[in-house]
Structure 1
């Protein structure tokens, strides 16, 4: 009897746990389905393997985009190109992966542009505040003449740049109070990347920017070493910053793209037709990844609000105040990045 009763209890507990797991899975952020592959099979000589490394995890939009890239390349090459994905910085961080491309020990990676500024100074453009007022403006710049020229400029130093995708907009969170104006930032200790433009932005806004490694950030927020931080919504949720940050502001203060890079050594071994296939696949991957990113962005923002985080959405007038306050940052960096380039980008949003 005791054994039978225990078995029933165990079964009930197991069923309850399975039900909870199913409930959690259904509540998880849903990604748009991976599209079907379109286009003819590309015929060329040789068999090739691509190791594709990224720093973000399997739960993000970028990895979902890579799954589509893998599907396109393998199907349209009729299996003659095999793609292996390495998320979560398994093969090194962004800079280590780029270095591996240069040495020919890795075929592809897709870092955000910020770590590459020392190699490609014009990429500092993407760290300027409020440069891209909408995702559509970012798309127009990156998919147009400006973006194509920047891909060409980045196709040096042992690298071939073949496409853009989206890391997304950065948002502000803090543990002290709602922020709807620069005055609300006065004295707040905000963790930033070790990036001179980002430090300049937050100083100009009146905050106390505090650079530190991302690995230290949750503990620093929990212990009050810093009051706040800034990252995309998906990072805020996946890192559980909402557990130690009560307030968020949808600032959209910096938009960061991902750039798809191929090792030049590997690229030169590919037949021309396979090179074109990779370019087409990178473009399709980037378009789909942006769609996934933006869909997840809206869902995650709502999930954070539902979890109790107080999210401030700035009015156009409030946003204009932030933009006017950081105008001196453009004066500081105009000559270093290139005034003509900045003007071209700003002209797109007029």
Structure 2
């Protein structure tokens, strides 16, 4: 009876809290709650409710409970959901300029990447998304990509010649592998493990966390730490919902999002570091995988080989020369 009474009181408190909120913000994402994106979304929920003194009730829906990424942008425009964090590839048809982040060896390191995202180039990209009727908030990390293969270890660009690499749908990634004489193969992420295992493809590119969680390292002979490309997300909000908020609550959203972004980037770095350590432990234990680190000269050779594709994407209908040059010039 006591438990029943406590449960009733708790439910009443939750209901009362929800009724007290002036706005309800549904945040839909496709990953589990214990991922960097999931943990950052939960942090954002608590922080915004705190900053807004309960005026905004944030409800986070992980693991595609509401929408998958291929449907969420339409839902955002309809205000069926108020916030989401899709990968850049999901914006391909409406803002192709976000393929900037696919360009290989464009970013010197993670700090340079974040200066680009948080500076003039990042704002220009957000403005392009806003022009399509969606409010762009901040960029969140998955991480830098590495290369792996079952054939020749990938130390110089010529080592990639003739090898078949899985890519997601991207003109930039096609050009990247063609530039080194490799054969890019578009394949759903869910099929990559079996493709590597059965020899349909020789290799792939992904972040440490993607490689580890999908066990790609268990069906590859060589992995090269290249940090050549980047995977990330853009947190977006319904324009209708944003415009419905008074200025003080918009400021609360901005502050909570900025704080959540710092946390997400920390979570992503920690995860990629810890899972690379686990991949190395697997390699040491089994001897089935060799991990290679590029010398400065080898990295320069890769950069010189693949950066030749940049001019192919100077058109504003693709990425744009101005965005590429400003990214390179960002200090």
Cα separation, 2, equivalents of 1:310 and 1:56? 30
Consecutive aligned runs of 4 or more in structure 1 exceeding 6 Å deviation = none
Q: Which residue of 2 aligns with 1:301?
A: 276
The equivalent position to 2:310 in structure 1, one of 330, 340, 347, is 330
Cα separation, 2, equivalents of 1:189 and 1:139? 31
Aligned residues of 2:311 and 2:321 also touching (Cα < 8 A): no
Q: Which residue of 2 aligns with 1:12?
A: none
Q: Which residue of 2 aligns with 1:119?
A: 94
Shift of residue 218 of structure 1? 1.3
RMSD, matched Cα: 1.6
Cα separation, 1, equivalents of 2:325 and 2:170? 22
- Give the number of aligned pairs: 305
Q: Which residue of 2 aligns with 1:221?
A: 196
Shift of residue 124 of structure 1? 1.9
- What runs of 5+ residues in structure 1 fail to find an aligned partner? 1-44
Cα separation, 1, equivalents of 2:248 and 2:128? 23
- TM-score after normalising by structure 2: 0.88
**What does the per-residue CA deviation read over 1:174-216, in whole Å, with 9 as the maximum and x for residues that have no partner?**
2224211112112111110011111110111121111011111
Aligned residues of 2:51 and 2:256 also touching (Cα < 8 A): no
**What does the per-residue CA deviation read over 1:32-74, in whole Å, with 9 as the maximum and x for residues that have no partner?**
xxxxxxxxxxxxx962221111223333211111121111011
**What does the per-residue CA deviation read over 1:236-292, in whole Å, with 9 as the maximum and x for residues that have no partner?**
111111221232111111123321100112112222211111111111111111111
- Determine helix, strand or coil for the equivalent of 1:165: strand
- TM-score after normalising by structure 1: 0.83
- Determine helix, strand or coil for the equivalent of 1:326: helix
Matched, 1:236 2:216: no
1:283-322 alignment runs, 5 A limit: 283-308=258-283, 309-322=289-302
Q: Which residue of 1 aligns with 2:57?
A: 82
Q: Which residue of 1 aligns with 2:231?
A: 256
Matched, 1:194 2:169: yes
1:180-191 alignment runs, 5 A limit: 180-191=155-166
Q: Which residue of 1 aligns with 2:125?
A: 150
1:57-206 alignment runs, 5 A limit: 57-206=32-181
- What runs of 5+ residues in structure 2 fail to find an aligned partner? 1-19, 284-288
Aligned residues of 1:164 and 1:283 also touching (Cα < 8 A): no
**What does the per-residue CA deviation read over 1:90-114, in whole Å, with 9 as the maximum and x for residues that have no partner?**
3333231111001111110011222
Aligned residues of 1:112 and 1:259 also touching (Cα < 8 A): yes
Q: Which residue of 1 aligns with 2:322?
A: 340
Aligned residues of 1:130 and 1:253 also touching (Cα < 8 A): yes
Aligned residues of 1:102 and 1:157 also touching (Cα < 8 A): no
Aligned residues of 1:53 and 1:89 also touching (Cα < 8 A): yes
Aligned residues of 2:105 and 2:307 also touching (Cα < 8 A): no
